[in-house]
């Protein structure tokens, strides 16, 4: 800055750092994001990372929270400024539905904690440098996370989305001065989406997703096209629904020699159109309906059909019933029952020679007397009980 005047490069740097909602531009007219593009990309990223967070929860068995994304246009210098330590760059390539790839940037310590949790640890074993084990574990985690994210994108963009297995690399940003060593789109300006990620009380950090402009616009165009189709479909459905109403509301010309129907008087509602502030009174104008009370023929004894009743009973003739003959009853205390022994006599509530009770499925139905049939006891029915004793 010379004499209090900012250069164009300094102005652009301030705009990039602000991360505001205004359109960000550069000398290249293609490296811009309109407010509509920024909002759409942010919504896509929000839904995708929300699904990915659910998947990560199942992998680490810890509560995972990812904040609402912040979309901005950034340069490689902006990435270096936010990630001073060695970090992990994870490339996610899209093979179906979208053309291109994006890069997810995680901090070194975050990768160590996630890896330790995936291996059954408590997330505190973070000593040592990142190795192949850490990179393989985080690649598998990203494969499952971004796979579920691709499923959400498929529903959102209304087309099949699929990814290739992610690849992870450790990058020392202090020694990497040009992002083109990682990917060519990092040489200039690109779309940066920033999230805040929390995993239990172990991780409270920031992650970034880097998109080339072509990939970001591909997603935006897909969702914009999908919205146009939905809007067109809704308008067609509304038009189809309104057509019968318009035909019904269209005035009909009366044939010659017949008077036109009188228009409703002021203060009266039109047919099918309730007045403002009044209930729908269209029912008052419908044609009267002839309603008669239902009448039934009286049920006469002569209508009884014993043959039909016999057929109904025949359906249950084979149902087995339990018949019990009860000689009598009595009540005893637990002490008296415990004193039972061979030869003990129990006095019942029946008088000697009195009829015994016959029960069918526990229901009292008859009285009888005991007989002996070829060395077996039997019962001779003496009385049928028509009314149950109270």
Give the Cα separation of 121 and 60 in Å (integer): 9
Q: Which CATH architecture describes the domain 8-227? A: 3-Layer(aba) Sandwich (3.40)
Q: What is the mean pLDDT of residues 232-260?
A: 53
Give the Cα separation of 202 and 194 in Å (integer): 19
Q: CATH classification of 321-339+348-390 is 2.30.330.10, yes or no?
A: yes
Give the 3-state DSSP-derived string for 97-133, with helices as H, strands as E and coil as C.
Answer: CCCEEEEEEEEHHHHHHHHHHHCCCCCCCCCCCCCHH
pLDDT at res. 262: 46
Contact, 88 vs 130, CB < 8 A? Answer: yes
pLDDT at res. 302: 54
278 confidence band (pLDDT: 50, 70, 90): very low
Instruction: Give the orientation angle of helix 35-60 with respect to helix 213-249, to 10 degrees.
Output: 110
Of 139 and 307, more confident: 139
pLDDT at res. 268: 44
Region of poorest pLDDT, from 28-37, 95-104, 211-220, 259-268: 259-268
Closest CA to 216 of 49, 383, 113, 101: 101
DSSP symbol at 275: P
What mean pLDDT value characterizes the chain?
A: 76
pLDDT at res. 15: 52
With 50 as the cut, is the pLDDT of residue 26 above it?
Answer: no
Give the Cα separation of 186 and 29 in Å (integer): 17
With 50 as the cut, is the pLDDT of residue 273 above it?
Answer: no
Contact, 168 vs 88, CB < 8 A? Answer: yes
pLDDT digits (tens, 9 = 90+) for 36-85: 888 888 888 888 888 888 889 988 988 999 888 999 999 888 888 877 67
pLDDT digits (tens, 9 = 90+) for 313-341: 777 788 888 999 888 889 989 988 898 98
pLDDT at res. 8: 56
Listed by start position, the domains of the chain span 8-227, 321-339+348-390
pLDDT digits (tens, 9 = 90+) for 107-163: 989 999 999 998 888 988 888 888 888 999 999 999 998 888 888 888 887 888 888
pLDDT digits (tens, 9 = 90+) for 118-133: 888 898 888 888 888 8
pLDDT at res. 197: 92
Give the Cα separation of 135 and 114 in Å (integer): 11
With 60 as the cut, is the pLDDT of residue 280 above it?
Answer: no
Give the Cα separation of 198 and 178 in Å (integer): 30
Q: What is the mean pLDDT of residues 202-206?
A: 91
Angle made by CA atoms 267, 270, 276, in degrees to the nearest 5: 60
Q: What is the mean pLDDT of residues 374-385?
A: 86
Q: End-to-end distance of the chain based on CA atoms, in angstroms?
A: 111
pLDDT at res. 71: 92
Please enumerate in sequence order all residues whose Cβ is within 8 A of that of 160, keeping only pairs 6 or more positions apart, or say none: 96, 97, 154
For tokens 């018949």, the residue is 323
257 confidence band (pLDDT: 50, 70, 90): very low
pLDDT digits (tens, 9 = 90+) for 60-70: 988 999 888 99
20 confidence band (pLDDT: 50, 70, 90): very low
pLDDT at res. 309: 60
pLDDT digits (tens, 9 = 90+) for 167-199: 999 888 777 767 777 888 888 889 999 999 999
pLDDT at res. 297: 64
């Amino acid at each position: 800055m010379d004499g209090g005047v900012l250069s164009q490069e300094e102005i652009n740097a301030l705009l990039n750092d602000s991360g505001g909602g205004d359109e960000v531009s550069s000398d290249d007219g293609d490296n811009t994001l309109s407010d509509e593009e920024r909002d759409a990309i942010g919504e896509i990223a929000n839904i995708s990372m929300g699904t990915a967070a659910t998947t990560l929860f199942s992998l680490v068995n810890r509560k995972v929270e990812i904040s609402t994304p912040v979309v901005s246009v950034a340069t490689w210098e902006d990435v270096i400024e936010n990630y001073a330590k060695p970090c992990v760059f994870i490339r996610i390539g899209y093979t179906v539905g979208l053309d291109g790839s994006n890069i997810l940037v995680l901090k070194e310590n975050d990768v160590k904690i996630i890896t330790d949790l995936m291996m059954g640890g408590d997330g505190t074993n973070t000593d040592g440098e990142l190795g192949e084990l850490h990179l393989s574990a985080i690649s598998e985690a990203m494969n499952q996370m971004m796979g579920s994210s691709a499923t959400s994108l498929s529903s959102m963009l209304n087309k099949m989305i699929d990814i290739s297995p992610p690849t992870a690399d450790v990058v020392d940003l202090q020694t990497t001065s040009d992002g083109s060593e990682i990917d060519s789109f990092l040489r200039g300006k690109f779309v940066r989406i920033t999230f805040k990620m929390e995993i239990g009380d172990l991780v409270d950090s920031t992650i970034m997703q880097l998109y080339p402009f072509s990939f970001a616009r591909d997603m935006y165009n897909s969702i914009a096209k999908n919205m146009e189709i939905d809007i067109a479909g809704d308008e067609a459905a509304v038009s189809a629904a309104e057509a019968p109403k318009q035909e019904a509301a269209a005035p009909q010309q009366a044939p010659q020699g017949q008077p036109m129907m009188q228009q409703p008087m002021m203060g009266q509602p039109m047919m099918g159109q309730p007045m403002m502030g009044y209930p729908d009174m269209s029912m008052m104008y419908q044609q009267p309906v002839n309603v008669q009370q239902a009448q039934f023929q009286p049920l006469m004894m002569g209508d009884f059909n014993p043959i039909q009743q016999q057929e109904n009973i025949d359906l249950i003739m084979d149902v087995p019933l339990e018949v019990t003959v009860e000689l009598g009853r009595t009540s005893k205390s637990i002490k008296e029952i415990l004193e039972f022994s061979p030869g003990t006599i129990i006095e019942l509530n029946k008088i000697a020679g009195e009829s015994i009770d016959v029960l069918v499925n526990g229901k009292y139905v008859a009285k009888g007397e005991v007989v002996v049939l070829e060395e077996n006891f039997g019962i001779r029915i003496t009385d049928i009980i028509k009314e149950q004793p109270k």
